[in-house]
Amino acid sequence: MTNPLIIALDFPNWETTDRFLVQFPTDESLFVKVGMELFYQEGPQLIKTLKARGYRIFLDLKLYDIPNTVQSAMTVIGQLGVDYTTIHAAGGQAMLKAGAAGLKKGAALGNVRPAKLLAITQLTSTSEAQMQTEQLVNVSLPESVAHYAQLAQNSDCDGVVCSAQEVPTIREHTNADFLCVTPGIRPATSQTNDQKRAVTPHEAAQAESSAIVVGRPITQATNPYQAYQAIKSEWESFK
């Protein structure tokens, strides 16, 4: 799965998560994202349960704290054997490098493959106007994202989480193997909800996203597996 479609498991607990997952064939190789709500409710045991089913896992906790705290937390996360995890680029180089070091240490302690560390640039729910007025960032949104991507690459991160709209700019400023994982994916017929910079799977593929993250268009579909197949087909047909 070189360019995965990742399903965002935005559910409040394991019971609702399991009711969703059992609608997929057991031989379907899923890549799933576990966010704050579900992880804080269920804890590390959830990750063990999902791994036992053969799922690949993106643990999206967006760490943002002083370097020592982030390093310690990433050491714990690193032992879980997840595939991707996240950290805020705005925390700065010292924090990013500490997170990367902690992740590698944890992987060694757990005897597992190190997770890919992805830096959060600007949330896809953030508009340029919001960024400039609320964060007091006096550059364009693409410039901010490109800056954070370069900072992440120079701070031992493997990639970033960003809108597909910013991927071409990031590609101009980073190495070819730098990951650009893009949430805010909405089929053309779907509502954008709180996503300000949503794109279709086709547009993400054209932008050369490394992976896409899809939540509500699949999790709230009448037939989740059918919705998953349709989005996956559109995504993979252009890769």
| Cβ atoms of residues 63 and 76 within 8 Å | no
> In this structure, is the dihedral angle defined by the CA atoms of residues 209, 96, 54 and 21, taken in order, positive or negative?
negative
68 carries a ligand binding annotation: yes
> Is position 225 annotated in a ligand binding site?
no
Catalytic residue annotation? 60, 62, 65
How far is residue 66's CA from residue 92's CA, in Å, rounded to a whole number?
A: 10
Residue 215 makes CB contacts below 8 A (sequence gap 6+) with 7, 8, 10, 33, 183
116 is in an annotated binding site: no
The answer to whether 184 touches 195, Cβ cutoff 8 Å, is yes
- Cβ of 119: how many Cβ atoms within 10 Å? 27
Question: Known binder of ligand: residue 170?
Answer: no
Check whether 45 is labelled as a binding-site residue: no
228 appears as a binding residue in the annotation: no
Is position 197 annotated in a ligand binding site? no
Is 85 marked within a binding site?
Answer: no
E strand residue ranges, the chain: 5-8, 31-34, 56-63, 84-88, 116-120, 159-161, 179-182, 211-214
Residue 46 marked ligand-binding: no
Spatial contact of 37 and 10, defined as CB atoms under 8 Å apart? yes
Closest CA to 214 of 226, 236, 198: 198
- Residue 65 annotated as part of some ligand binding site: yes
Known binder of ligand: residue 56? Answer: no
Does residue 191 have a known ligand-binding role? no
Please report, for residues 21, 140, 163, 235, the alpha-carbon distance to residue 180 in angstroms, rounded to integers and kept in the order given. Answer: 26, 19, 9, 15
12 is in an annotated binding site: no
Coil vs helix vs strand at 185: strand
Q: Which residues define the annotated binding site for substrate?
A: 10, 33, 60-69, 124, 186, 195, 215-216
Q: Which residues define the annotated binding site?
A: 10, 33, 60-69, 124, 186, 195, 215-216
